[in-house]
Structure 1
Amino acid sequence: MAQLLDQYGKPVRTSDLTRQVSGPTMLGQRPAIITTPIGGLTPATLAALLNAADTGDSLAWLECAEELERRDLHYLGVLNTRKRTIAQLPITVTPASDDDAHKKHADFVSAWLDRGVLEKSLFDMMDAVGKGWSVHEIVWHAEAGNYYPEELAFRPPRFFEVSYQDGETIMLRDDPGCTAPPSAPGGILQEGYTALDPNAFVIHRHPSWSGLTLRAGLTRAVCWALLAKMFTMRDWGVFVQNYGLPARIGRYGPDASEEDRNVMFQALTDFGGALAAMMPKGMDFELVEPKSSGGHELHMLRAEFLNSEISKAVLGQTGTTDSKQGAHASGAIHREVQEDIERADASLLSATISQQIVARMVAFSFGPQDEYPKLRIGRPDEVPLDTLIKVVQFAGPQGLKFPAQPFYDRMGMEAPQEGDSVFGMVAQAQPVQPAHVLPAQDRPAQVMPPRDPNPTPASPQAADQQEITLHTRLGKLLSRHVRADGTHIINLMTQRLARDAEAGLAQMTDAVRAEVEKAGTMAGLEKTLAGMDLPHDQFQQAMQVALMVSELAGEAMVLDEMAANG
C-alpha cells in the first residue's frame, strides 16, 4: 500500500484521519455543560479573567466571552450579521493553471463543495471574530484517491488553550497526565494539554488588530462596553420598577426588637418594591429630587451610546444598524465600509480553507503537487448592473458590441430557446434625418390696420433705407403684379427655393455618409471620396433658379431708380 503524504511531502497515518479526539468528555477537561462565571461580573472580576488569559489560563475568560455574546442582544445581532454575511457568499474554485491535471484537481474540490459540508461550517468558522480563533475537527472520508472531509465538527474554544510560551500555538485540553511539546525555544513540556494534528484540524485565526493569538478577539475590546451596559440596564430596571411609587419610610422605637424590625422591613418592601428605608425614631431622612431635567432618558441615551460604540467595533459603522433622521445621505458610505470588512473577512477565511483543507484533499488524493487550486469566498468583482445597463444604453448605439450571455447570467435568467414564448424587441437604428422644414401654408390675406401712405419715387428716403435686401427686392418685383397678397407670395417663393436647395444638398451628403459608414480605414475612405461623382443635378437647378430670381430683383431695383430720377 502506498504511503499517504500531505501537501509538504510528510507521511501521514490514515488511522489518525479517521478518529475524533477533541470531542466533549463526561469526566475529563472538556465537559459539554458548564456553569458560567458571569453572574457576579464586576470590573475587578473581568480584569482578573483577562489577566489570567494573558498568562495562559483562558478557560474562565472563554466561558465568559461565550456568555457575553449570548446575553447582550445588540452584540449578538451585530456579530451574527458579520458572520452570516460571510456564510452566504458564493464560493468558487480556480485551477492552479490551464493544465489538465490542475483542472481535474479543481473539479475534485468543486464536487466536494457541492456536498455542502463547507457551506454549513462557515458560520462557525467565523466564531473566530469574537474569540480570535476557531477550531474544527475534520472527519475524513479515507479512500485511496478520494480523500475529502465528510464533516467539519465545530469545537468550542474552551476545549483548547493558547500556549503562553509563544502566544500562537493552540493545544487541546486533556487529562493531567498528558503533555504537549514546548511551543518556543527554551520552553518546557506543557502538562494537561495535547498537541493538535495539523491534518485533522482546521484552525482559523481572525485578528481584529495586530498582535498575538493569545490576546486576539473582538470580545476583548467590547467586554468593557458590555459590562457598562449591564450596569446601565440594571439601574434602568430599578428606576422603571419604582417609577411613580411613593418612597416608604418606617420608623421604630427604642424598645423594638430585632424581630419587630424585620417585620417592619418586610412590610415596607412588600408594599411596592425596594424603594423603602427603615430607621429609628428621631433620625432625619430626606429625599432630594435632582434639579436636572430629562433624567428619565439618561439610561436610554447611555445604552444607545454604548450600542453605537459596539457597532463601530464590530461593523465599522452604525448606519446599517441604527436608523436616524437624515442618515440616508451617509448610508452609501456606511455600506462601503461594511463591504470593505466583508472582503477582508472573506479573504482571511479563503486563505485558511485553501491551505488547510483544499491542499490536503488534493495531496491525499493525487499526491503532493507544486501548486494547488485556489478557493475563493466572496462576491465577484463586477460592475453594478445598473451601471452596466447605462453603458449598453449609451455606448451600444455608437457601435460598441456586447455578448448577450453575461447579461442573462447577471440577471439570473436563461437565453430563450427555439419555440419559447418571448417578449421584447430589438431597437432599430434611427437614420439621421435632414433638417425639417415645415411645408408652406396658404393663409388668407390679412386686413392690415390703417397706416401712413406708401412713399412715392419722389419721396425722400432715410439713410438706413438705402440698403435693400434680396427679400425686399423680390417684394418690389412681385408688387408690380400682386398688390393684395404680395408678402404671402414672397414667403412661398423663399420657402420653395430653400426646400429645393436643401433636398439637393441632402442627396450629396447622404452619398458621402454612406461611404463613411462602410469605410474600414481612413486611407480607403480618402480614395473613395476622391473618386465619387456626387448627384448634384437637383442642387444645381435650385441654385440656377435662385440666381435668376436674384437677377430679376436687381433689374426691378434699376427700374425703380430710373423712375425716381425721371
Structure 2
Amino acid sequence: MVTTTRIVGPDGQPFALADLKEPQTSRTEQLRNEWQGHPSRGLTPSRLAAILVDAEQGSLVAQSELFEDMEERDGHLASEMLKRRGAVIELPWDIVPPSSPFPKEKAAAKQLKELLAEIPGFDELLFDTTDAIGKGYTNLEIEWHQVEGFWLPASVTHRPQSWFQIYRGYREEIRLRDGTADGEPLQPFGWIRHIHKAKSGLLARASLFRVLVWPYLFKNYAVGDLAEFLEIYGIPMRLGKYPPGSSKEDKLTLLRALSELGHNAAGIIPAGMELEFLDAATGDPKAYQAMIDWCERTQSKMILGGTLTSQADGKSSTNALGNVHNEVRKDIRNGDAKQVAATLTRDLIYPIALFNGLTDSLRRSPRMFFPVEETGDIETYSAALPTFVSMGMKISRQWAQERVGIPEPETDETDLLQAPAPARPLGLPVADVAAASAQMSNQPQDPPAKMTGQLDQAVSPALAGWVGQIRDLASQAESLEQLRDGLFALLPDLSLDDYAAAMRVGLAAAALAGHYEILREAGGA
C-alpha cells in the first residue's frame, strides 16, 4: 500500500493523488455538449479530400466524426473490425513480473492481478482500447478512488476521438480540445492513451480508416446507383400528352396520374389527355455489384489481411488458401495484442502498482502479457527435450512450460505432480541396489541384505561364464533356429560344480537368516 500522498509524474513534477479523483473532462463542459456533425451525409470526393487535408493540419473533428459514420453505416466494415478487435479480446491475459524477477516482484505481480479483478468492466476496457486499431488512437479517461486503502480505477470511460487535437512539438502529442490553438495536455496517470498506427508517418494520416475511406465512398456511390436502378427496374416508361393550352394545374394532374400508375396501377386524367406506355426499364445490375464486391474485398484485405476468412467467392476459395489467410490474420492479431499490452502496462498496470507501493519504476513494474504463441504438442516435447538436455543444451523450465501450455505453479501450492522413483536398471546386481538404498537412507544393512550380497558374489563367476558363452553364440547366429541348436549344443559343456557350491553357500545363508529373524521376533515379543 502506498505510504505517501504525492507521486512524481512522467514529467518529473510531483502531484497529489487526491487530484486524480476529479477527471480532467469534468472541467470541459463544452465538449460534453457537442453534437456529431455526420460529415458522411452527401459526401463527395472533393468534400472528402478537404476533410483529410484539415486533419493533416491538426483539426481532427471532421475526420473523427467521419470514421464514426463509416463504422456505423457500413455493415461489412463493422463486421470485419469486430473480428479483428474480438481476436484480441478473446486472448487470455496475465500479469507477469519483469525479467529476472526477485521474490518481491513475483509477489507484486500476483497481488496486482488480484487488484485488476476488482476493476469494474475490465473486459469493456480492453474492447475500448482496441478502438484505436481502426481510428488511429483512443483515449480512455480514468477516475481513481480508494478501496480499503488501495488506489484503483473507479471507472474507465471511452472519450470520442473528436474531443482531441494534435499538438506538434518535437514529438506529436494528443491533447484535449479547450478552444485554444495548442489544447490542454492530458493529465498524468489520468488517461489510457493508445496509439495504433496502420502505417508510419504523421498521426493524422496513420490510421487504418484513412486507407478505407475511399473504398467506403465508392461503395456508397455503387449502392446508391443500385438502389435507384432497382427502384425503376421492370417498370414501363410512361409518357403523358396534354393538349395545347393546358393550364399548369392540368399538367400537374397528368404528372400525378403517371406516378400513381407506376406504383398503384390506378389513376385518373382529364379528358383530352393521353397516356402512352413504352418498354419497361431494362439494364444489368452486375456492374454495380462488381464495384461493391471490389470495395468489400479491399476492406477485408486491409483489416484482416485476406478475404477467405470473411467471405468466399465459390471459385478461388479453397481450404488451403483459407488456412494461409488465417495464418496472416493470426500475425495481425499477435501484433495488435502486443501493442495493446504495452499501452496497458504503461498507463494502467504501472500506475496501480506505483500508487499501491508495488513498484518504484516502470522498468521493474509488472506488465500485461497476452500468450499469443500456440502451444506445441506435449508428446513431441516430452520426447525431444530429454534428448536435448542429455546433449548438454541448457533449456529454461519456464520456456518449456510456456511451449506446452502448462502454467507456472504458485509458490504456496503443495499438490504438485512428482517424478516417479527411478527403477532398478536391468543387469544391476541386487546387492548393489541394496547397498545404494542403505547408503541413501543412512541406515546400516541388516543381515539378510548382507547375505543377499554374499550370494550374488558367490554365483557371479558361474553366471558370468554362461552369459559370456550365450552372448557369443547370439552374435554369431544368423537365425532363431541356429541359436536354438547352438544352445542345445552348448548345454552339455556347461559345468555345474561351481554353481552347486555357490548354491550350498546360499542355502546355508538363507537358513541362518531365517534363524536370525525368528530369534529377533522372539526377543522383540
From 322, 330, 337, the counterpart of 1:339: 330
Match of 1:323 in 2: 312
Unaligned stretches of 5+ residues in structure 2 = 265-272, 391-396, 410-424, 431-459, 474-481, 490-525
Offset from partner CA, 1:98-141 (integer Å, 9 cap, x none) = 32332232123211222254332111111111211000111112
Deviation for aligned residue 1:18: 0.4
- For the Cα contact (< 8 Å) 2:24–2:187, is it kept in 1? no
Q: Identify the match of residue 216 of structure 2 among 214, 226, 235.
A: 226
Aligned partner (choices 260, 264, 289) of residue 250 of structure 2 = 260
Residue 93 of structure 1: aligned partner: 95
Q: Which residue of 2 aligns with 1:381?
A: 373
The 3-state SS of whatever aligns with 2:155 is strand
Q: Does 1:309 align with 2:298?
A: yes
Could you tell me whether the CA contact under 8 Å between 2:176 and 2:186 is conserved in 1?
yes
- Please give the secondary structure, in 1, of the residue aligned with 2:299: helix
By how many angstroms is 1:22 displaced?
1.9
Matches within 5 A, 1:76-475: 76-96=78-98, 97-117=100-120, 118-142=122-146, 146-163=150-167, 168-174=172-178, 176=179, 179=180, 190=181, 193-272=183-262, 295-325=284-314, 326-366=317-357, 368-369=360-361, 371-384=363-376, 387-389=377-379
In structure 2, how many angstroms separate the alpha carbons of the residues matched to 1:397 and 1:198?
51
- Between the aligned partners of 1:10 and 1:396, the Cα distance in structure 2 is 51
CA distance in 2, matches of 1:116, 1:352: 17
User: Structure 1 residues 16, 116: closer, same or farther in 2, change over 3 A?
Assistant: closer
8 Å CA contact 2:150, 2:356 repeated in 1: yes
Report the alpha carbon displacement of residue 399 of structure 1 after superposing the two structures with TM.
13
Give the root-mean-square deviation of aligned CA atoms. Answer: 4.3
* SS of aligned partner of 1:323: coil
* SS across alignment from 2:82: helix
Q: Residue deviations 1:476-495, cap 9 Å, x none? A: xxxxxxxxxxxxxxxxxxxx
Corresponding letter in the other structure for 2:165:
E
Per-residue CA deviation, residues 240-296 of structure 1 (Å, 9 max, x unaligned), is: 22222112223344423333333333332333369xxxxxx9xxx9989889xxx23
Is contact 2:226-2:288 (8 Å) kept? Answer: yes
- CA offset at residue 16 of structure 1? 2.4
Question: Alpha-carbon deviations, 1:11-65, whole Å to 9, x = none?
Answer: 1222320002326976x13326434222211111111111111112221221121
> Which residue identity is paired with 1:39?
R
CA contact (8 A) 2:236 2:280 kept: no
Question: How big is each residue's C-alpha offset from its partner over 1:83-108, in whole Å with a ceiling of 9 and x where there is no partner?
Answer: 11112211111212432332232123
User: More helix per residue: 1 or 2?
Assistant: 2
Percent identity, aligned pairs only, is 27
Structure 2 Cα separation of the partners of residues 100 and 395 of structure 1 = 31
The offset of 1:209, in angstroms, is 0.2
Is this contact kept in 1: 2:341–2:369, CA < 8 A?
A: yes
Q: Secondary structure at the match of 2:262?
A: coil
Is the Cα contact below 8 Å between 2:56 and 2:205 reproduced in 1?
yes
Q: Helix, strand or coil for the counterpart of 1:29?
A: helix
Computing the radius of gyration from Cα coordinates, the structure with the larger value is 1
- Contact 2:37 2:62 survives alignment (8 Å): no
Aligned-partner SS, 2:326: helix
Tell me the alpha carbon deviations over residues 293-331 of structure 1, each in whole angstroms, 9 at most, x when there is no partner.
xx2322222212211100011111111101344421112
* d(CA) in 1 for partners of 2:172, 2:13: 23
Q: Gaps (5+ residues) in structure 1?
A: 180-189, 275-280, 415-512, 519-527, 547-566
Q: Secondary structure at the match of 2:193?
A: strand
The number of equivalent residue pairs is: 410
Q: Secondary structure at the match of 1:356?
A: helix
Distance 2:47 2:484 in 1: 106
Structure-1 residue corresponding to 2:67: 65
- String of CA shifts for 1:478-513, please: whole Å, max 9, x gaps: xxxxxxxxxxxxxxxxxxxxxxxxxxxxxxxxxxx9
Distance 1:237 1:70, change over 3 A: same
Give the equivalent residue in structure 2 for 1:554: none
Q: Does 1:10 align with 2:13?
A: yes
For 1:542, the equivalent position in structure 2 comes to 485
2:393 maps to: none
Q: How has the CA–CA distance of structure 1 residues 239 and 411 changed in structure 2, closer, same or farther, with 3 Å as cutoff?
A: farther
**Whole-Å Cα distance in 2 between the matches of residues 38 and 225 of structure 1?**
13
Give the TM-score normalised by structure 1: 0.63
- Asked if 1 retains the 8 angstrom alpha-carbon contact of 2:136 and 2:208, the reply is yes
The 1:262/1:382 distance shift into structure 2, 3 A limit, reads same
